[in-house]
Amino acid sequence: MATAIPTQTEKCKGAMLATAIGDALGWPNEPRSRNRAKKPKTNDHFVEWTRSCSNPRWHDEKILPGEYSDDTQMTLSVSRSIIAGDWEKFFTEKELPFWLTYERGGGGALLKAAKSCNKKKVLLWQSNFTQGYFNAGGNGAAMRILPHVIAGAKTPDIHTLMLNAIKNTLITHGHPRAFLGATCYAYALEYLLRKENVLEYGELVTAVIDGQKIWGANPNPDVFGDWLDVARQHRDYEYATEWVNTRTHMVKQLEYIRDSLKKGLMLDDTKVLTELECFGKVNGAGDVAALAAIYLASRYANNPSLGIKVPAFSFGADTDTIASITGGLLGMLSGMNWIPPEWRVVQDYNCLIQMTELLLADNKKEATKAEVSEAKTQDGDWRNSPIGKIQLVDSKNVPNGKYGIVIIRKWQTALGQTLYTKEAELYDNGPQSNDQTTLYDFAAHSPSKTKAIWSQMPSTAPVQKSIPQNVALSKLKRQFVLDGDSIAALLGNPQFKKKITVGKMLKIVRALIESDEASDILAKQFEVEQSIVDLLKAYVIE
């Protein structure tokens, strides 16, 4: 019996859903997730977990089963931007700044770029702080490229796709590892989208190797001339040489994957992923994530569920992003019928389907207007936001030690995406007992740090406690704060059992307080693993 090949629409929906599924399944296990559980377990289903958060002030939060992180948030942000028309303008002027109010687990480079768009109204490469930017080679760009592939499904143009992948990447990342991870992943997605017959074992790897001149092409100077001029001034490395070296290394890794796949049942996933640097210091790099996803999608093309579970529970790797983009490839290959019922409870399932349909629509703007109008006919107090109409769904308070609360508000967009925002309030009468409030019954993460953004948010009823004028949060300096629980959490973290002096740790803390450098830059400066910097960064508040 011949294998049924999914339609392109089914492939795109499958890719969008599996991206979110991989993200949600892998997020609790990601080294920088700050999961309270010391030893997460492998599961076939989503789990509820508790996340330790420092923004806007210290608190714990519950993450409900199936809730996703910044990987899927950014995928939906890019989707809305494409639907809006001028996607670059909308993404940098609306989506990225507003994302700061509801972000969940965003990486250093992405957060820094978003803050630059919000406060300075300028992209990082156009600012005076380009050093960290050109060293940012993370997978924050690759994880959000899928919408460009879906939007071009009816009008295939591989060169336009590569152009958009580069344009999207340079908004937040400047190192060739980020660019080539994004273009390589986009190329693999496009190949699977156009595939009209059964994928042969190892075929995807060979196709990506053969396409290296397309996804590995240098940025066009006619389009990116100004950006390239700035890149050439970077002092840490020679940009053109670094680009070629990164591409060459990726092709060698792809050849290693191709040779490894020939071992069949004898293949050791951990060994291959180790060789691909998934457990090393650069485990969050864009090229590493793309290569790992191509390997896993190739090996588990006939078992997509297992293909997502392997990276999601590869403890020590960047589990959420690798599982997310592996899911994107497997969904683009197999559609959505394979998705088990227990995974269809992923956060915003209907929104993910609807967003895919809008990206595929001939007239995206008109189709979106119709969907929004229908949503607004339903009951709800719809309010304006930079990304469209939203409504408040719920509001809960969680304790901030003995001194205040964090207010978590749950919102829903007209297209069905769930957003969680946070705001801190200090008690005006001194410490309160911890039993006044308990952890809320829904998940939330993301500080509201910017007045400009909150001025665009709809007003809500005031909380019971107010902030004393002499300690207004907007006037607090950046601080490194530890309480008994957080000290115990650090002492119990295996990362801190590695050799690191107190002096070096204090120097890292001082750098985190006094500068806005990304974690990977500080890790390189102090010669420690990035995970240690991220752990300390969690205790820095503003």
3-state DSSP assignment of residue 517: coil
Give the span between the Cα atoms of 210 and 398, in whole angstroms: 53
User: Of the residues 341, 360, 379, which one is the last residue of a structural domain?
Assistant: 360
Its domain, for residue 130, covers 8-37+52-360
Contact yes or no for 198/5 (Cβ under 8 A): yes
Residues 356 and 487 in one domain: no
Task: List, edge to edge, every strand of the sheet that includes 418-426.
Answer: 382-383, 390-400, 404-413, 418-426
For residue 113, what are its two tokens? Answer: 């770029």
pLDDT score for 39? 80
Q: Is residue 470 part of a domain?
A: no
Q: Is residue 350 part of a domain?
A: yes
**Whole-angstrom Cα Rg for the chain:** 22
Q: Is residue 455 part of a domain?
A: no
The pTM score is: 0.81
Contact yes or no for 479/138 (Cβ under 8 A): no
pLDDT score for 326? 98
User: Of the residues 336, 360, 384, which one is the last residue of a structural domain?
Assistant: 360
Question: How many domains is the chain partitioned into structurally?
Answer: 2
User: Of the residues 308, 340, 360, which one is the last residue of a structural domain?
Assistant: 360
pLDDT tens for the chain, 542 residues: list them: 457 899 999 999 999 999 999 999 999 999 888 888 878 888 889 999 999 888 888 888 999 999 999 999 999 999 999 999 999 999 999 999 999 999 999 998 999 999 999 998 999 999 887 878 999 999 999 999 999 999 999 999 999 999 999 999 999 999 999 999 999 999 999 999 999 999 999 999 999 999 999 999 999 999 999 999 999 888 789 999 999 999 999 999 999 999 999 987 788 999 999 999 999 999 999 999 999 999 999 999 999 999 999 999 999 999 999 999 999 999 999 999 999 999 999 999 999 999 999 999 988 777 776 766 666 666 678 999 999 999 999 999 988 877 789 999 999 999 999 999 999 988 765 544 433 322 222 233 333 333 333 334 443 433 333 333 333 333 345 778 776 556 766 666 666 656 677 778 888 888 888 777 777 778 778 888 777 887 787 777 65
Q: Report how far Cα 178 is from the mean position of its chain's Cα atoms.
A: 13
Report the 10 Å Cβ neighbour count for 169.
26
Q: Is residue 376 part of a domain?
A: no
Give the span between the Cα atoms of 284 and 31, in whole angstroms: 10
What is the per-residue burial (b if ≥16 Cβ within 10 Å, else e) of 64-102?
bbbbbbbbbbbbbbbbbbbbbeebeebbbbbbbbbbbbb
Give the span between the Cα atoms of 134 and 125, in whole angstroms: 8
Q: Is residue 416 part of a domain?
A: no
- Burial (0-12, 13-18, 19+ Cβ within 10 Å), 362: exposed
User: Whose structure tokens read 């665009």?
Assistant: 456
For residue 97, what are its two tokens? Answer: 């700044």
Report the 10 Å Cβ neighbour count for 533.
25
Give the span between the Cα atoms of 326 and 311, in whole angstroms: 8
pLDDT score for 496? 65
CATH number of residue 178's parent domain: 1.10.4080.10
Integer CA distances (angstroms), 58 to 254, 404, 478, 479, 483, in order? 43, 10, 13, 11, 9
Q: Is residue 72 part of a domain?
A: yes
Q: Is residue 400 part of a domain?
A: no
Residues 127 and 267 in one domain: yes
Q: Is residue 126 part of a domain?
A: yes
